[in-house]
Chains A and B, each alone.
Chain A
Amino acid sequence: MLLFRSEEDIERWSEMRGTPRGETMSVEQQWRLARAWFEDRLLPGYRRRTPEEVEAVFAGIGLTGPFWSLSARG
């Protein structure tokens, strides 16, 4: 999960490495995901999310589809 200056930088970087381009999200989306994901880490009762709970967090900020699915292991 890297931060790029622009979509063009992602295209060039992916091409140079010969790797397929993945998925992108806005900085705002990433901040929302970070907050949803980590807000409970200092709580004594923290436990890892189930795959279903993870997918629900992703869906809550608009991340859906095979890339964000935990059952799409290939």
Chain B
Amino acid sequence: MSADDRIERSDDATTDDVVRLAIMRMFVDEGRPPAPNELASIVGIPQAEAEASLRRLADAHVIVLAPGTPLVWMANPFSALPTPFEVRRGDRRWWGNCIWDALGVLATISSDGEVRTSCPDCGEPLRLEVRDGQIGGDAAVVHYSTPAAKWWDDIGST
């Protein structure tokens, strides 16, 4: 997916459906989200319409925009910015927003790969590996500090 590629639009797809898919595909292919002008080109709409769609998707909690901008910060499981949750497949690299998302990157692309992070308490590097659809790697435990009902109160820190 690049700004030169158009997304084919099915008859019942809304602009927001197509914009969301364009964001996800560019994250998968390039490890980054499209800028609003790239989205406009990919989807075949004016940039103002692309930005309006981004705002609607953010209001619906489908994506998160960088505060005060029309730029995609998160489209779960992907993060546009480096995080402590690095996902690798060969020489490809993505960033997840948390351990759930980091594994979610591999689930999204239906691929083997590895996740690298570190223990927030002791700082020890931790590595998980998905091979043939099975999870392995270092012994570790996942911790959720915030109850599910409050995740979107402050999604940036959740």
Task: Give Cα A27 to B24, complex, Å.
Answer: 25
A68 touches B148 (CB 8 A): yes
Task: Give Cα A50 to B120, complex, Å.
Answer: 32
B147 touches A46 (CB 8 A): no
Task: Classify the secondary structure of A's interface with B.
Answer: mixed
Q: Could you say which interface size class chain A belongs to?
A: 35 or more
B140 touches A5 (CB 8 A): yes
Task: Give Cα A15 to B137, complex, Å.
Answer: 27
B142 touches A24 (CB 8 A): yes
Task: Give Cα A37 to B101, complex, Å.
Answer: 10
A28 touches B135 (CB 8 A): yes
Task: Classify the secondary structure of B's interface with A.
Answer: mixed
Task: Give Cα A37 to B106, complex, Å.
Answer: 12
B40 at the interface (CB under 8 A from A): no
B121 touches A4 (CB 8 A): yes
Chain B 1-30 interface residues, beta-carbon cutoff 8 Å to A: 10, 13, 17, 20-21, 24-25, 28
Instruction: Supply 11 further A-B pairs (C-beta < 8 A) apart from A23-B143, A23-B144.
Output: A1-B144, A2-B145, A5-B126, A10-B141, A13-B121, A24-B142, A41-B77, A66-B147, A67-B147, A69-B148, A71-B149
A residues whose Cβ falls under 8 Å from a Cβ of B: 1-7, 9-10, 12-14, 16, 19-31, 33-35, 37-39, 41-42, 44-46, 48, 54, 58, 66-74
